């Protein structure tokens, strides 16, 4: 078949034509990348939380200026060491070796996330994402996360029981629980446990998922405990973490002249944090302060001084690191570390 002149002309012109029609500038708005939004989200949440707790912030910073600076510096040091202890515990919960500096930066960022989201959810999400980025499968990362939470809870309760046995008069329990409240409290815990067990037994999908997760978690725990270095990091770090937090409160108490023995203040801290562990508030904001004041008063402290101590302690451990932690979180998201 002979080509016509029109076909020849089209063949000559077509290579010069652009393959795609260029987008006119300003015609269609570009979508904001999701990762950039995630980088800015922590800063926005910090602003929201700061506005919500503005009164506490102003009062706490006012109390901060009245304390003895060597003790306040000691409290800040224990706060930094607590992040190191958290990083050691996280490493002990997995067999693979994770990058040290990224792991430490992740714990600092996870602390900020933990105060911006319901208790434990922020830090868990950050660490879960970090482990998966490090190449650990999601199932094993979840098992390592559960192992960390379990080890930290066991260590905190064990430390509290040991101090209560050593100092039985550290807390006046009658001021913490109304008369006759222990029975209903234990009954409520028993009922919740029975209901959860019944749901797992009756719902097949939940039962299957729970059994599968339990097998993975047990396998991960077995692998970790066959390596003495990992087991030492897991349990040593999980014991050091609440001990350093309690030491920070003791240092603030000394800075503001709270007339309570150091061991009694440590017992008050551990009792308060164990009591509010199941309260779903961001970072325990509000609930931790109230519980700490109650337990410090139960330990024999003056209510006004105890309030000042708690506000100053939360300024050092929560509010001062919150903005740098949020910035670190945004940088880690930007660099795709999490």
How many angstroms separate the CA atoms of 61 and 315, rounded? 7
As beta bridge partners, residue 282 has 118
pLDDT in tens, the chain (338 residues): 555 554 545 455 445 445 554 554 555 445 556 656 666 666 666 677 667 666 766 776 777 777 888 999 999 999 999 999 999 999 999 999 999 999 999 999 998 888 777 666 888 889 999 999 999 999 899 999 999 999 999 999 999 999 999 998 888 755 555 555 455 656 666 776 777 777 767 777 777 777 777 888 888 899 999 999 999 999 999 999 999 999 999 999 999 989 999 999 999 999 998 888 765 555 556 678 888 988 998 888 888 888 889 989 988 998 889 889 888 988 898 888 88
Q: Please check whether residue 298 is in contact with residue 82, taking contact to mean a CB–CB distance below 8 angstroms.
A: no
Alpha carbon distances (Å) from 92 to 64, 215, 217, 276, 301: 36, 19, 14, 26, 38
Q: Please check whether residue 239 is in contact with residue 155, taking contact to mean a CB–CB distance below 8 angstroms.
A: yes
What 3-state DSSP class applies to 283? coil
Q: List all residues 6 or more positions away from 148 whose beta carbon is below 8 Å from its beta carbon.
A: 89, 90, 93, 127, 234, 238
Query: Quick one: pLDDT at residue 211?
Result: 76
Query: Quick one: pLDDT at residue 84?
Result: 96
Largest distance between two CA atoms of the chain: 108
Burial 100-116 (b: 16+ CB within 10 A, else e): eebbbbbbbbbbbbbbb
Q: Please check whether residue 164 is in contact with residue 267, taking contact to mean a CB–CB distance below 8 angstroms.
A: yes
Q: Please check whether residue 71 is in contact with residue 254, taking contact to mean a CB–CB distance below 8 angstroms.
A: yes
pTM assigned to the model: 0.78
Backbone φ, ψ for residue 282 (5° rounding) = -60, 115
Query: Quick one: pLDDT at residue 154?
Result: 93
* Domain residue ranges of the chain, discontinuous segments joined by +: 34-177+197-334
User: Pick from 83, 111, 80: which is nearest to 282 by CA?
Assistant: 111
Alpha carbon distances (Å) from 307 to 61, 76, 229, 312: 13, 19, 41, 9
Q: List all residues 6 or more positions away from 246 whose beta carbon is below 8 Å from its beta carbon.
A: 265, 266, 269, 270
User: Pick from 245, 258, 265: which is nearest to 309 by CA?
Assistant: 258
């Amino acid at each position: 078949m002979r080509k016509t002149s029109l076909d020849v002309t089209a063949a000559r012109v077509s290579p010069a034509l652009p393959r795609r029609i260029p987008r006119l500038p300003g015609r269609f708005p570009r979508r904001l990348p999701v990762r950039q939004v995630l980088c800015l989200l922590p800063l926005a949440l910090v602003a929201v939380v700061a506005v919500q707790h503005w009164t506490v912030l102003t009062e706490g910073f006012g109390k901060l200026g009245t304390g003895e600076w060597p003790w306040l510096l000691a409290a800040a040091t224990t706060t930094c060491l607590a992040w190191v202890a958290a990083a050691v515990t996280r490493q002990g919960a997995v067999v693979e070796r994770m990058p040290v500096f990224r792991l430490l930066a992740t714990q600092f960022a996870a602390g900020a996330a933990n105060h911006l989201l319901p208790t434990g959810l922020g830090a868990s999400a950050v660490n879960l994402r970090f482990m998966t980025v490090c190449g650990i499968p999601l199932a094993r990362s979840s098992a390592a996360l559960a192992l960390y939470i379990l080890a930290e809870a066991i260590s905190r309760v064990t430390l509290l029981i040991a101090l209560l046995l050593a100092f039985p008069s550290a807390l006046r329990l009658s001021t913490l629980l109304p008369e006759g409240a222990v029975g209903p409290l234990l009954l409520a815990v028993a009922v919740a446990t029975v209901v959860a067990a019944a749901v797992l037994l009756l719902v097949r999908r939940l039962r299957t998922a729970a059994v599968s997760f339990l097998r993975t978690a047990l396998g991960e725990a077995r692998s970790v405990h066959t390596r003495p270095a990992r087991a030492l990091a897991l349990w040593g770090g999980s014991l050091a973490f609440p001990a350093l937090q309690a030491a920070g409160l003791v240092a603030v108490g000394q800075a503001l002249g709270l007339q309570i023995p150091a061991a009694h203040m440590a017992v008050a801290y551990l009792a308060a944090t164990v009591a509010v562990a199941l309260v779903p508030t961001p970072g325990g904001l509000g609930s931790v302060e109230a519980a700490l004041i109650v337990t410090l008063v139960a330990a024999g402290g003056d209510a006004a001084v105890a309030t000042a101590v708690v506000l100053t302690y939360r300024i050092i451990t929560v509010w001062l690191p919150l903005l740098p932690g949020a910035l670190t979180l945004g940088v880690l998201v930007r660099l795709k570390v999490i």
